[in-house]
Amino acid sequence: MSGSVFYKMSQMETEYTVGDALFSKKEIDDRTRELAGQIVRDVRGEELLVVGILSGAVFFLTDLVRCLPRELDVKIDFMSVSSYGDATTSSGTVRILKDLGSDIAGRNVLVVEDIIDTGLTLSYLLKILKARHPKSLRTCVLLDKSARRETAVDVDYCGFNAPDVFVVGYGLDCGGRYRHLPDIHVVNL
């Protein structure tokens, strides 16, 4: 792979390299513009509260909202949830580490995630948010690893279907690293 940059983590139990880009920043940007267009059509000029789930979704959210027109009343907020750990032993319960700063009752809420895998995180979050009686509650996910789904979740806007491979970059991490890479890369284990 000429021109590729390789990263190595020798302190990890499994040594790995970050390989080729699976989705380039250009592909992400193009798809993000399309998703923003769909969102604008669906929200029909009403206020939109865009909720990002920390930390991975920050990159996607900030690019997505900048594709929304200035006429639209767009607000942003963030939530942070604890990881549920090993999905095979999980009950699907996640703990809220940082809650929203405002009430969502009667508002159009769009939850933005970088990736959906088992679906446990988003499914639990949606249950919590639904109970707060938003006017509408939609989901926008950049990557969907649908092959790994353990619970059904409605994804209203999906960037890309992703294969069942470990990915990093554009917010996605491995042990906290590589979130800053502009493209999304496959990790070669």
**Interface positions with ligand PRP (CB under 6 A):** 53-57, 83, 87, 113-122, 173
Task: Please state the three-class secondary structure of 24-82 as a single string.
Answer: CHHHHHHHHHHHHHHHHHHHCCCCEEEEEEECCCHHHHHHHHCCCCCCCCEEEEEEEEC
- State the nearest-atom distance from the C-beta of 50 to ligand PRP, in Å: 15
- State the nearest-atom distance from the C-beta of 114 to ligand PRP, in Å: 5
How far from each other are the two terminal CA atoms of the chain, in whole angstroms? 17
- Toward ligand PRP, which CB reaches closer, 65 or 126? 126
- State the nearest-atom distance from the C-beta of 42 to ligand PRP, in Å: 23
- State the nearest-atom distance from the C-beta of 144 to ligand PRP, in Å: 9
Distance CA 25, CA 77 (A): 24
Q: Which single residue is written with the structure tokens 């206020």?
A: 47
- Toward ligand PRP, which CB reaches closer, 87 or 128? 87
What type of residue is 131?
A
Q: Which of 29, 117, 144, 183 is catalytic?
A: 117
Rounded to 5 degrees, what angle do the CA atoms 66, 76, 140 make?
Answer: 70
- Element of type H or E holding 128: helix 120-130
117 counts as catalytic = yes
Residues annotated catalytic, as ranges: 117
